[in-house]
Amino acid sequence: MSSTVIDDKPVTPCLLLDVDRMTRNIQTLEARLKDLGTPLRPHVKTCKSIEIARRMMASDSPGITVSTLAEAEYFFGHGIDDQLYAVGIAPGKLDRIARLYRNGLALKLTLDNSDAAGRLGEAAARLDCAFSVLLEIDADGQRGGFRPDDPALLEAAGLVTDAGCGVLGVMTHMGASYDCRDARCLERAAERERDAVVSAADRLRTAGFEAPVVSVGSTPTATFVRNLEGVTEVRAGTHVFMDLFMAGLGVCTTDDIAISVLTEIIGYRGNAGEWLVDAGWMALSRDRGTASQTVDCGYGLVCQESGEVIEDIFVRATSQEHGILARRDGEPITPDRFQVGQRLRILPNHACATAAQHAGYWLVGEDLAGGRFWPRMHGW
Amino acid sequence: MSSTVIDDKPVTPCLLLDVDRMTRNIQTLEARLKDLGTPLRPHVKTCKSIEIARRMMASDSPGITVSTLAEAEYFFGHGIDDQLYAVGIAPGKLDRIARLYRNGLALKLTLDNSDAAGRLGEAAARLDCAFSVLLEIDADGQRGGFRPDDPALLEAAGLVTDAGCGVLGVMTHMGASYDCRDARCLERAAERERDAVVSAADRLRTAGFEAPVVSVGSTPTATFVRNLEGVTEVRAGTHVFMDLFMAGLGVCTTDDIAISVLTEIIGYRGNAGEWLVDAGWMALSRDRGTASQTVDCGYGLVCQESGEVIEDIFVRATSQEHGILARRDGEPITPDRFQVGQRLRILPNHACATAAQHAGYWLVGEDLAGGRFWPRMHGW
């Protein structure tokens, strides 16, 4: 990926990171979890940057959470040797994982079904590798995992230990929290998340498995949870940047959103009363997550170059390298409102998706002279 | 971007390119345009690969079309020195473009409003650079450009020549063709596209501008156009890969789609009768273009590893690194249908968006031993 600076200014479109906001977001969650007595294992799938991951790790963080083996390798290369790979294991990846084990990264794996447990056991024997495994618990019926009362949970744990591998414990992700519309719903989702995983851990322990790790995670539940009794770690990642979807959930406000896409105005569409900018879906991503929320933010909310939100303007539509700015109320934007060549910022619907479109982060913030760039890693 | 091979097999998820299908797609459009007597200036924003761009260029192609300056620099570095930058120019990019001119790439620019023409003139004087410009014509009211009968068209052309720059001609992109539902609509869109740009060129010539170039483009209109009289070049790019959106428009069939995402099955969700795979939106993109078509393909159609389409299965939902396979008719998929560890392919909704998520292309096809990889470029 290339990333270009001309005359000491990054070219548009590019991704800006407000370091002060990021630091505040990290500290806010850290303080919450400290009050609740449970450490954070930050999920680095949002940032994919060693500079940011290091800042996300609190003094008591056991390690990080990753979503790809490329992340595992990149962060291990940067010295982080306690990692949970939080995607149900596909057997075809076990050879590569065994190499990581031999090189010193005992990557904690996620196992979400008995068939995969059987395949894991075969690979452990073939590769002479004792994998460490968390069993994924399905707390909301939305993705993978064992229901807490599923007989297959104990069966899978047995297959794992029979193969000489370790059952470290249980983990879950409460994807259903993303469908909430108010705080009470999020609090209940966090309760259900905790209950599911704690009861599954109890069952494992009653059956003789040690299962020391009880891991939960999502930025919304981490923000609204009131009780983490029995939980040993929380995984969250989006909180580092926040986004319009999280603001729509009530997890943050637009003033907390730490990343934005810098863009330049190309021209005015007089017939429609709309303005064209040079950030299309390639820079913003195709994510339309806020379409299902009370306030649909289109492809993003528009801010002045300084970061101040322009309340009535959003990105109505995109093509690959064009964004179309319109008023939220459907009225035309007047021709005196902006000018060709003016720079604006666009707040993202979904931080993970928008950041993934960029080679890295241009830092902005009070303590920075500007011009600093932190690269991101990509791929699988 | 990293791209990993373990034991000579690419890791999943990754992007496959069926070279035979790609070659057929290129030849089909080439033959059509040859019949119509108008050369192709391929748009390389879909492929972003020199290997593919060279194959897209026919013997009579005047050059290529690009959507970013990073593309312009990459393809110029690979020896392609006739390029049209088909996004309305943002004035902040002109310093960088002037450097390209000084280095030997007289990048043809797109100008879509009079304010930008004024800014272009200022930059031309300041940088002592005679930019070459195509005026963008708005054929469908959907994005930027001058209406063919807009007085501002001649005004902008005058500003360009007064600044010592060249008015090369006119160009348009018929985005409205993407809204069509049948062949007759696409034929009419292609007629309107031609009419708009030819009449605008006539106005310019009547007013004394030479305007030798008359450029149109989109894969749907290029496929359905019957008359290109007065048009000097056609721009198209998606045709090289095709996708489900193009199949939904009737531009191709699913057997023509040349790229797919290779994925591996993680597990079965027994409660829902769905299967989980290791390709989520990070590998497939968030593009849901087919949601507005007659047949909604979710996040993509599922194929056997060999490429054979599994007619009743699609990707119903995605998270970052998970895809959920479901039956299109809503009935559960039975547990004997697939197995954990099995590899499948997923056809993309939108080739440009899906390919953009990957570091490059793993080649598959009759004439290839396999294992060959063509990288893509990224960024701005």
Considering only alpha carbons, which residue of chain B is nearest residue A359? B379
Average pLDDT over residues A276-288: 97
Cα B177 to Cα B140: distance, rounded to the nearest angstrom: 9
Interface contact flag, B343 A276, Cβ < 8 Å: no
Single-letter residue type at A101: Y
Q: How far apart are CA B51 and CA A365, in angstroms?
A: 41
CB contact under 8 A, A141 and B340: no
pLDDT value of residue B167: 98
Chain B hits for A11, CB-CB cut-off 8 Å, are: 69, 92-93, 96, 380
Say how far apart CA B104 and CA B12 lie, in whole Å: 41
Distance CA B256, CA B25 (A): 7
B143 to A324: CB separation less than 8 angstroms, yes or no:
yes
Select from B119, B269, B356 the Cβ nearest to the Cβ of A340: B119
Q: For position B368, what pLDDT does the model report?
A: 60
Q: Out of A294-308, B82-96, B361-375, pick the least confident.
A: B361-375
Residues of A in contact with B339 (CB under 8 A): 115
pLDDT score recorded for residue B166: 97
Choose among A45, A283, A321: nearest Cβ to B320: A45
How much of chain A, in percent, has pLDDT values that exceed 70?
96
For residue A13, cis peptide bond before it (omega within 30 degrees of 0):
yes
Residue extent(s) of CATH 2.40.37.20 domains in chain B: 258-375
Query: Which of A294-308, B341-355, B362-376 has the least mean pLDDT?
Result: B362-376
- The mean pLDDT value of chain B amounts to 95
User: Nearest 5°: phi and psi at B70?
Assistant: -65, -40
Pairwise CB contact (< 8 Å): A144 & B267: yes
- Please state whether beta strands A14-18 and A259-269 pair in parallel, antiparallel, or not at all (unpaired): antiparallel
pLDDT at A189 over 90: yes
CATH 3.20.190.10 for domain B37-240: no
Q: Give the chain A residue whose CA is nearest to the CA of B123.
A: A341
For residues A22 and B144, the model is more confident at A22
Supply the mean pLDDT for chain A: 95
B321 CB neighbours in chain A (<8 A) are 45, 67-68, 87
B175 pLDDT above the threshold of 90: no
Tell me if B322 sits within 8 A of A87, measured CB to CB: yes
- Between CA A26 and CA B227 the distance in angstroms is 60
- Segment B267-284 shows an average pLDDT of 95
**Residue B245: pLDDT over 60:** yes
Whether the predicted pLDDT of B3 surpasses 60: no
Please compute the mean of the pLDDT values over residues A32-56 and round it to a whole number. 97
Answer yes or no: do A115 and B340 touch at CB < 8 A: yes
Lowest mean pLDDT among A163-172, A371-380, B196-205, B256-265: A371-380
Residue A1 is nearest to which of B147, B321, B378, comparing CB atoms?
B378
Predicted local confidence at residue A126, as pLDDT: 98
Does residue A3 register a pLDDT over 60?
A: no
Residue B6 confidence (pLDDT) above 90: no
- Contact between A38 and A29 under an 8 Å Cβ cutoff? The reply is no
Q: What is the mean pLDDT of residues B6-18?
A: 84
Domain with CATH 3.20.20.10 in chain A: 37-240
Interchain CB distance below 8 Å, A70 and B2: yes
Give CA–CA dist A49/B321, Å, rounded.
18
First to last CA, chain B: 15
Instruction: Give the pLDDT of residue A1.
Output: 41
- Inter-chain contact A380–B4, Cβ cutoff 8 Å? yes
Range A258-375: architecture per CATH? Beta Barrel (2.40)
Tell me which of A284-288, A371-375, B16-20 is least confident.
Answer: A371-375
User: Where does the pLDDT of residue A270 fall: very low under 50, low under 70, confident under 90, or very high at 90 and above?
Assistant: confident
pLDDT at residue number A2: 45
Which region holds residue A170: left if phi is over 0, alpha if psi is between -120 and 50, else beta? beta
Distance CA(B36)–CA(A266), nearest Å, equals 34
Residues A322, B88: C-beta atoms closer than 8 Å: yes
Mean pLDDT of B41-63: 97
Nearest-CA neighbor of A2 among B48, B101, B107, B238? B48
Report the gap between the CA of B165 and the closest CA in chain A (Å): 19
Tokens 């790439």, located at residue: B105
Predicted confidence at residue B10, as pLDDT, reads 80
Given this model, what pLDDT does residue B369 score? 56
Give the tens place of pLDDT for each residue, A255-266. Answer: 999 999 999 999
> Which of A2, A89, A143 is opposite residue B379, by nearest beta carbon?
A2
pLDDT digits (tens, 9 = 90+) for B120-172: 999 999 999 999 999 999 998 888 899 999 999 999 999 999 999 999 999 99
Question: pLDDT at residue B1 above 60?
Answer: no
Task: Identify the CA nearest to A267 among candidates A346, A347, A324.
Answer: A324
ipTM: 0.96
**Residues A2-6: what's their mean pLDDT?**
54
Q: What percent of chain A has pLDDT over 90?
A: 90
Q: Nearest CA of chain A to the CA of B367: how many Å? A: 26
Helix (H, G, I), strand (E, B) or coil at A45: coil
Give the chain B residue nearest A145 (alpha carbons).
B269
**How close does chain B come to A214, measured CA to CA in Å?**
22
Contact A264 B92 (CB under 8 A): yes
Task: Give pLDDT tens digits for B369-379.
Answer: 555 899 999 99
Q: Do A340 and B91 touch (CB under 8 A)?
A: yes
Q: Give A220-234 as a DSSP string.
A: HHHHH----TT--EE
A371 or B241, higher pLDDT:
B241
pLDDT digits (tens, 9 = 90+) for A90-102: 999 999 999 999 9
Q: Which residue of B has its CA nearest to A96?
A: B6
- Per-residue CA distances from B19 to B63, B256, B307 (Å): 22, 11, 13
Q: What is the pLDDT of residue A143?
A: 82
Instruction: Label the pairing between strands B132-136 and B108-111.
Output: parallel
The CA distance from A315 to A295, in Å, is 13
Do residue A321 and residue B68 have CB atoms under 8 angstroms apart? yes
Residue A46 has pLDDT above 70, yes or no: yes
The separation between CA A217 and the C-alpha centre of its own chain, rounded to angstroms, equals: 10
pLDDT band at residue B2 under the 50/70/90 scheme: very low
Quote the minimal CA–CA distance from B360 to chain A in Å. 10
Displacement of CA A235 from its chain's centroid (Å): 10
Among B73, B112, B321, the residue with its CB nearest the CB of A266 is B112
Q: What is the pLDDT of residue B366?
A: 66
Helices (H), strands (E): how many in chain A?
Answer: 11, 18
pLDDT tens per residue across span B259-274: 999 999 999 998 899 9
| Interatomic CA distance for residues A24 and B210, integer angstroms | 59
Search chain B and give the residue with CA nearest A318.
B143
- Tell me the three-class secondary structure of chain B, residue by residue: CCCCEECCEECCCEEEEEHHHHHHHHHHHHHHHHHHCCCECCECCCCCCHHHHHHHCCCCCCCEEECCHHHHHHHHHCCCCCEEEEEECCHHHHHHHHHHHHHCCCCEEEECCHHHHHHHHHHHHHHCCCCEEEEEECCCCCCCCECCCCHHHHHHHHHHHHCCCEEEEEECCCHHHHHCCCHHHHHHHHHHHHHHHHHHHHHHHHCCCCCCEEEEECHHHHHHCCCCCCCCEEECCHHHCCCHHHHHHCCCCHHHCCEEEEEEEEEEECCCCEEEECCCHHHHCCCCHHHHCCCCCECCEEEECCCCEEEEEEEEEECCCCEEEEECCCCCCCCCCCCCCCEEEEECCCHHHHHCCCCEEEEECCCCCCCCEEECCCCC
Integer Cα distance of B35 and B174 in angstroms: 21
State the nearest Cα–Cα gap between B114 and chain A, in angstroms.
Answer: 9
Which residues in chain B touch residue A115, judged by CB atoms under 8 angstroms apart?
A: 267-268, 339-340
The two three-digit tokens of residue B142, written as one number: 């959907």
H-run or E-run covering A95: helix A94-103
| Residue range A49-73, pLDDT digits in tens | 999 999 999 899 999 999 999 999 9
Question: A228: distance to nearest CA of chain B, Å?
Answer: 25
pLDDT band at B365 (very low <50, low <70, confident <90, very high): confident
What residues of B are in contact with residue A377 (Cβ under 8 Å)? Answer: 2
Subunit contact A116:B266, Cβ cutoff 8 A: yes
Checking if the pLDDT of A370 tops 60, the result is no
Q: Span A203-229, mean pLDDT?
A: 96
Give the one of A12, A286, A377 whose C-beta lies nearest to B2's C-beta: A377
Nearest to A264 among B1, B90, B285 (CB): B90
The C-alpha of A18 sits at a distance from chain B's nearest C-alpha, in angstroms, of 21
Q: Would the pLDDT of B4 be above 90?
A: no
C-beta atoms of A341 and B90 within 8 A: yes
